[in-house]
A and B are shown apart, each in its own frame.
Chain A
Amino acid sequence: MSAGLDLEQRYRRVLRLLPRYYRDRWEEDMVAAFLDGWMTGDPDEDSVTMEYDRPTREEIVSVIALAARLHLGGAGAPRRFFAWGQAVRNAVLGVMLAHAVWGLSQLALFARSRHLIGWLPPPPGGFWPVLGYATGYAWIVVFVALVLADYRTARVGAVLVLGATVASVVHQQLAGTLVSPAATWAYTVVIDVAPALAMAAFHRDAPPVRRRPWLLALPAWYLLVSVPVLWAELSGHAAWVPDVVGRCCLLVSLVCLFHAARVWSGRAGTGVWSLTLLLLAAVTGLYRIISLPVFAQDSHLIVVGLVELLILAVTAALVAPDAVRSQSATPAPLGYQELR
């Protein structure tokens, strides 16, 4: 793939991962420092090195880490990169909030199993169900740690949860209990792996999260959505309740609608939240699409899923123009320097 290139050109290829504004300032310097580390002063040896050697994996990883931090900018980043950084951080918090709400539901089932709540059905026992509850509780820890800026705890928790989730899916596949293995793996990637990787946006330069609204959102979502849904299911009205993906579609659509009204009334601010909602709509829409094959035997549910997708697409389109605005109109964060 890189035939004909020398070591310098190979390294410059890696540096293309960095934003242009950063390369304009640092690329030549980085190349000089990189090559200084390889050159010995012996022309023959240096010639062989230039022709045959490649940047080490560690060097490439360090550039990838730098690129992630710059593209998902924090304080001091140019406004376009800062807006993307904020939107990805908000979207990750949104997905983690959904996971944490699910964890709260698991906690309620556990309380039932200990006879703390009498009216809930008892949960199944055994290793894998218990691992499922533990995964749910761990998502709560990950979400709260992110909000409290304890990023190390959040990352360790996310790695453990991902490990348990993958183990559980493998177990179900081997046991032949998955309705659609491809769909299950696809949404494991979309709602578990991808948001966990996007936690890279919570780096040292990331501005602190506004704690109170996010922490209040957890019990609010549980009490206003999960509890009524549980009540409807237990009281024999399950047919009227959308599945969990459908509920996510409708919830994101509602927030898009509410936010669009704010945008039109001129109270929306910088466009970062519109970009956040577009990201959440994309994740939720993808989740809906890849979960549709599960309904292959029921055309009515397929139609319901498509209607949910349509509602999501229309409401997301309402905030799209404002999201585009975020690429130029986001106020410069603290420490921003026009020439950087």
Chain B
Amino acid sequence: MTGQAFFVLTALADGPRHGYGIVREVVELSQGRVKLKIGSLYGVLDRLSADGLIEPDREEAHDGRLRRYYRLTDGGRRALAEEADLRAATARVVRARLGLTGPKPAGAAG
């Protein structure tokens, strides 16, 4: 799973969001490191949708335009959990190899 897909799925983990809502949430989650452009975002959404990891939730009118919201599917939730475990395990190995004894990074499993 790419870093962008991981952040997009994470942005949808606590509820449905529309396109620009996902962009803003990813900026916040990544502490400003990942700023998705719209072309990149919809490349990721198209792929995640084709893989059955996200699906449309609802549409809402806003300023005369329709905002489409997306949500995680059950498969998307499982895939995100597996990816989070994998990344946490990798982070633990790296910290051990570096001899870091401080507190575990926030969100690390186990």
User: In the complex, which residues of chain A have a beta carbon less than 8 angstroms from the beta carbon of B2?
Assistant: 204
- The answer on a CB contact under 8 Å between A340 and B19 is no
Top 10 A-B pairs ranked by shortest CB distance?
A: A33-B19, A62-B39, A36-B20, A62-B37, A63-B39, A66-B39, A33-B20, A32-B65, A66-B43, A62-B40
CA distance A22 to B20 in the complex (A): 19
In Å, the complex CA distance between A34 and B40 comes to 12
**Across the A-B interface, how many residue pairs have beta carbons closer than 8 Å?**
72
The answer to the question of A298 belonging to the interface, with a C-beta cut-off of 8 Å to chain B, is no
**Which residue of chain B lies nearest to A340 when distances are taken between CB atoms in the complex?**
B50
Q: CA of A74 to CA of B50 in the docked complex: distance in angstroms? A: 13
* B92 within 8 Å of A (CB atoms): no
User: Which residues of A313-340 have CB atoms within 8 Å of chain B's CB atoms?
Assistant: 335, 337, 340
Judged by a CB distance under 8 angstroms, whether B79 is at the interface is no
Are B67 and A37 touching (Cβ within 8 A)?
no
Bitwise, B15-32 to A at CB < 8 A (1) or not (0) is 000111001000000000
CB neighbours of B46 from chain A (8 A): 22, 25-26
Decide if the interface of chain B is mainly helix, strand, loop or mixed: helix
List which B37-92 residues lie within 8 A (CB) of chain A: 37-43, 45-47, 50, 62-63, 65-68
Decide if A30 touches B42 in the complex (CB within 8 Å).
yes
A33 touches B18 (CB 8 A): yes
Given A36-B20, A337-B50: A29 in contact with B68 (beta carbons within 8 A): yes
Cα distance A65–B20 in the bound complex, in angstroms:
19
Q: Which residues of A contact B (CB under 8 A)?
A: 22, 25-26, 28-37, 39, 58-59, 61-66, 69, 76, 204-205, 335, 337, 340
26 contacts between A and B (CB under 8 A): A25-B46, A26-B45, A29-B68, A30-B38, A32-B18, A32-B67, A32-B68, A33-B18, A33-B19, A33-B41, A35-B65, A36-B18, A36-B19, A58-B37, A59-B38, A61-B37, A61-B39, A62-B38, A64-B39, A65-B40, A66-B39, A66-B43, A69-B43, A76-B47, A76-B50, A204-B2
Given contacts A58-B37, A59-B37, A66-B40, contact A32 B19 (CB under 8 A): yes
Q: Is the interface of A mostly helix, strand, loop or mixed?
A: helix
Give the number of chain B interface residues (Cβ < 8 Å).
Answer: 22
- Residue pair B65, A26 in contact (C-beta under 8 Å): no
A324 to chain B, nearest CB (A): 28
Q: How far is the CB of A334 from chain B (nearest CB, A)?
A: 11
A252 CB to closest chain B CB (Å) equals 34
Find B23's partner among A25, A33, A69 (CB 8 Å cutoff).
A33
Q: How many angstroms from the CA of A35 to the CA of B19 in the assembled complex?
A: 11
Tell me which of B18, B39, B63, B67 has the highest count of chain A C-beta atoms within 10 A of its own C-beta.
B39
**Contact assessment for B39 and A32 in the assembled complex, using a CB-CB cutoff below 8 Å:** no
* CB of B3, distance to nearest CB on chain A (Å): 12
Across-interface contacts of B63 in A (CB, < 8 A): 35, 39
- In the assembled complex, the CB of A78 is this many whole angstroms from the nearest CB of chain B, namely 12
In the complex, given contacts A33-B42, A62-B43, what are 10 additional A-B residue pairs having Cβ atoms less than 8 angstroms apart?
A: A30-B42, A32-B19, A32-B62, A33-B23, A35-B63, A36-B20, A36-B62, A37-B38, A61-B39, A66-B43
List chain A residues, Cβ under 8 A from B66.
28, 32
CB distance from B70 to the nearest CB of A (A): 9
Instruction: Please name all residues of chain A whose beta carbon is closer than 8 Å to the beta carbon of B41 when the two chains form the complex.
Output: 33
Chain B residue numbers with a CB within 8 Å of A337 are 50
Contact A335 B19 (CB under 8 A): no
